């Protein structure tokens, strides 16, 4: 089988069987398409370790980072592991492919005071009653309060919020569902948006395309009428429920489900200046939430559960962030530092 055909089958396996996110599958596709082009699409059994090393060397010469090179090596190992399991190959050339060691880069974290200022400014704009300002305030509060990923926040439906318990039901990587708490400030901002902001944005969707809005509502009603699988907290399970805008919590300016790019732009515009950079995404709020939880004495396992990390090792990077902040405070404050 040609490598390109094997790649297509492997990507289908990742999407349909392993249920990886669309963004993850796109990253795999990008790496493997580059491999196919570099090796001129040979039979998959003809690929050897020398060809893979040549591919990695060319990438290094083009200026790709060590982290990218390590990811590409991992992608190729995944392909050949799957190819071995399905009987496409009998030998794994990627087993001898050496990955460059990644340098540890600590995530960008805003201080509690800086985020307090950002959220206060967002609250002041929201008090003017503009629907987008109400939405932005609720977004910032909720991401920081819950440590949710941007995809999880954009995928949030109104049925996923338990206002009485102040919890969110989030659908994370690999369709893994978890319930996370959020605080009273986020609840107040969310209620203001749901009462005064979301209806106005939803009306824009109905005005621009009333037939589409009506059909989306009918699909939701029919799916519940058929008795779709229930999830803890009520409502259809996140993996089975419709993904239209009719039940979406956060809406864009035209009334459609909010796009992650819009959240990225919001965080870059509001939080970025506090960290001295505009190249900042919503993950900065997630990083900050995790670090501030640990600074406040939260258990590492609890933070792992809140963030939805599969491995505790992923969460442990935030202990290094907290240690760096502790050392800096010591250096500034102690007379013999």
Enzyme catalytic residues: 149, 173, 283, 286, 309, 318
Place of tokens 């790496």: 31
Strand-by-strand arrangement of the 177-181 sheet: 161-162, 167-171, 177-181
CA nearest to 115, candidates 293, 306, 289, 320: 289
d(CA 104, CA 313): 13
Joined tokens for residue 302: 């609890």
d(CA 76, CA 52): 9
Please name the residues in contact with 329: beta carbons below 8 A apart, sequence gap of 6 or more. none
Whether 147 contacts 180, CB under 8 Å: yes
Whether 300 contacts 315, CB under 8 Å: yes
Which stretches within the chain are classed as H helix? 3-16, 22-39, 49-61, 66-85, 112-126, 131-146, 150-154, 184-192, 198-208, 210-225, 260-270, 272-275, 283-295, 300-307, 312-315, 317-333
d(CA 187, CA 148): 15
Q: Which residues pair with 205 in a beta bridge?
A: none
């Amino acid at each position: 089988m040609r490598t390109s055909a094997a790649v297509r089958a492997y990507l289908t396996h990742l999407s349909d069987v392993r249920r990886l996110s669309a963004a993850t599958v796109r990253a795999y596709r990008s790496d493997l398409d580059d491999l196919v082009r570099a090796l001129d699409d040979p039979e998959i059994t003809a690929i050897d370790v020398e060809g893979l090393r040549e591919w990695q060397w060319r990438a290094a010469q083009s200026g790709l980072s060590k982290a990218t090179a390590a990811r590409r090596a991992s992608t190729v190992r995944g392909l050949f592991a799957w190819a071995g399991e399905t009987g496409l190959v009998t030998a794994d050339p990627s087993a001898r492919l050496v990955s460059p060691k990644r340098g540890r880069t600590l995530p960008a974290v805003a201080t509690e005071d800086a985020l307090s200022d950002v959220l206060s400014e967002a609250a002041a704009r929201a008090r003017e009653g503009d629907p987008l300002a109400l939405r932005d305030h609720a977004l910032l509060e909720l991401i920081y309060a819950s440590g949710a990923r941007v995809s999880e926040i954009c995928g949030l439906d109104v049925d996923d919020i338990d206002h009485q318990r102040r919890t969110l039901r989030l659908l994370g990587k690999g369709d893994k569902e978890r319930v996370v708490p959020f605080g009273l400030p986020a609840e107040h901002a969310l209620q203001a948006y749901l009462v005064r902001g979301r209806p106005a944005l939803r009306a824009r969707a109905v005005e621009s395309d009333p037939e589409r809005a009506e059909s989306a509502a009918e699909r939701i009603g029919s799916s519940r009428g058929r008795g779709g699988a229930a999830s803890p907290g009520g409502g259809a399970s996140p993996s089975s429920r419709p993904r239209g805008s009719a039940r979406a919590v956060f809406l864009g300016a035209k009334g459609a489900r909010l796009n992650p790019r819009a959240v990225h732009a919001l965080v870059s515009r509001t939080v970025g200046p506090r960290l001295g950079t505009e190249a900042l995404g919503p993950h900065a709020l997630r990083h900050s939430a995790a670090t501030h939880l640990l600074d406040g004495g939260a258990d590492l396992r609890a933070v792992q559960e809140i963030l939805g990390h599969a491995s505790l090792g992923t969460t442990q990077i935030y202990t290094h962030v907290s240690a760096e902040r502790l050392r800096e405070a010591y250096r500034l404050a102690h007379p013999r530092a």
